[in-house]
Structure 1
Amino acid sequence: MIVIDHLWNSLGTTPLLWLVVTLAAYTAGNALQRACGGTTFASPVLIAITIVAAILVGTRTDYRDYFAATQFINFLLGPATVALAIPLARSTRLVKENLAGIGLALLAGSVTSTISGIGLVWLFGGSRTVALSMAPKAATTPIAAAVSSQIGGIPALTAALAIVGGIMAAVVGRTMLTRLNVDDWRAHGLAAGVAGSGIAAAQVAARNELGAAFAALGIGLNGVLVGIVVPLMVHLWKW
């Protein structure tokens, strides 16, 4: 046992080890989803997070050490998000033709997310700080955390809520829209971008280029809108 602990302590600080663990966990998630017939309920992201978290807890590895070792993956998130602009550029004409509907859907989604988040915290007796952390959760994680810090929330809590929200949107979003007979990829993409941010948007992008374009639009515009609407609502809110 002592030898194993010593070996792990030696390897645990090696960036390559944690990169392999992370990629292997996501690969396992993809394999499990395929084995389940492609169901969105077997989300590769959720499975990978569960596996990696279990390994971190089991090996008593500090999250800061893990994060430092996987900076390369974190760096790739930026180019991956920017790459969503490619299908968006190819769909400029469709975006212009649907500006009114996009604007209404974006406003409704953003405001509903903010009000419902604050309302849930208030309903269950949560503190103002938790409510402020909940308010910007629908935006992409970096924007949500920045807005949370600006209005007096807890950025780390907001980031966790944004990630959980993204996973939930990826798991149930497409199934829910399909059952409501919404089969337009523009709607699927915009809903993923507004409600689920990058995680749900990536799932849509893997299935349809038009959906990817509207998902990218939803992520960008919702981030801007959250940065304006949430501080304004908090300024007017006297709870």
Structure 2
Amino acid sequence: MALTLVSYRVGLSVRDASRGHALAQPVLVAIVLTGGTILALDVDATTYADGVQVLSFWLGAATVALAVPLHRQAARLKGFVVPMLVAVPLGVVVSVCSVVLLARWTGAGEELVRTLSPKAATTPVSIQLSETAGGIPSLTAALAICVGILGAVAGPAVLTLARVTDRRARGLALGGVSHGIGASRALAEDETEGAFAGLSMGLTALATSLLLPLLLAVLL
């Protein structure tokens, strides 16, 4: 647990020293440092997981706490509810369909396709969806984390290039693609953006749970 906390503290320092450079994401730095140390010391993954159970518990509480900035930004929901309720399910459909079709096009087997399909949902949800769909939950978890990091690193720049300036829309996009890691990046950028990223993360997980079985039945 100390290793994980120190690694994340180093990640924060790297981010501050680099003046918020896109690649200096605290989570990414913490993963590299923690993972490298575990590999170097030949620590079993199960032993590490047992040692950070307290952090895992509080991660759930921290996710729920994303509702606090959303409550503060409740007035910003006016006129945005309908577009949001259209965008989130549509984003799930695009996410699932694109990865399934791309995987099939490159020759991936059905088990791998089912493993990839719930990648945009937050990690705990994607693990359960992968297991239900017949995928490999541990691989889905790794992919979901990688997607989250990639979205947190590249997402804001891509949105800026696409001229998406509305903080609500930016947060909705980051939360829908990069879940908790993206929400953390969005919250560091702007409170409104972070609030809508947290909301999008939850809605995307719900929409993925509802739509994934139907989409896989149609596509496979």
Q: Distance in 2 between matches of 1:209 and 1:33?
A: 18
Residue of structure 1 in register with 2:181 after alignment: 199
Structure 1: which amino acid aligns with 2:172? L
Q: Secondary structure at the residue paired with 1:144?
A: helix
Equivalences for residues 12-161 of structure 1 within 5 A: 19-161=1-143
Q: Secondary structure at the residue paired with 2:189?
A: coil
Q: Secondary structure at the residue paired with 1:206?
A: helix
Seq. identity, %: 37
For 1:106-164, what per-residue CA distance to the aligned partner results, in whole angstroms no more than 9, with x for missing partners? 12221111112112221221110111011111011111111111111111111111111
Q: 1:176 aligns with which of 158, 171, 191?
A: 158
225-234 or 99-108, which deviates more: 99-108
Q: Distance in 2 between matches of 1:205 and 1:76?
A: 18
Structure 2: which amino acid aligns with 1:56? I
1:164 aligns with 2:152: no
Could you tell me the TM-score, scaled by structure 2's length?
Answer: 0.95
Q: Distance in 2 between matches of 1:60 and 1:120?
A: 36
- Identify unmatched segments of 5+ residues in structure 2: none
How far apart are 1:232 and its partner, in Å? 0.7
For 1:185-235, what per-residue CA distance to the aligned partner results, in whole angstroms no more than 9, with x for missing partners? 101211111000000101111332211221121011111110011111112
Closer, same or farther in 2 for the Cα pair 1:36/1:206, shift >3 Å? closer
Q: 1:188 aligns with which of 167, 170, 180?
A: 170
Residue of structure 2 in register with 1:219 after alignment: 201
For 1:50-87, what per-residue CA distance to the aligned partner results, in whole angstroms no more than 9, with x for missing partners? 11111111111001000100111111111101111112
87-96 or 198-207, which deviates more: 87-96
112-121 or 56-65, which deviates more: 112-121
Q: Distance in 1 between matches of 2:148 and 2:17?
A: 23
How far apart are 1:105 and its partner, in Å? 1.8
1:208 aligns with 2:217: no
* Count of residue pairs brought into register by the alignment: 220
Residue of structure 2 in register with 1:4 after alignment: none
Q: Distance in 1 between matches of 2:94 and 2:217?
A: 17
1:231 aligns with 2:213: yes
Could you tell me the TM-score, scaled by structure 1's length?
Answer: 0.88
How far apart are 1:36 and its partner, in Å? 2.2
Residue of structure 2 in register with 1:11 after alignment: none
State the superposition RMSD in angstroms: 1.4
Q: Distance in 2 between matches of 1:237 and 1:102?
A: 25
28-37 or 112-121, which deviates more: 28-37
Structure 2: which amino acid aligns with 1:213? A
Structure 1: which amino acid aligns with 2:14? L
Q: Distance in 2 between matches of 1:133 and 1:36?
A: 36
How far apart are 1:170 and its partner, in Å? 0.4
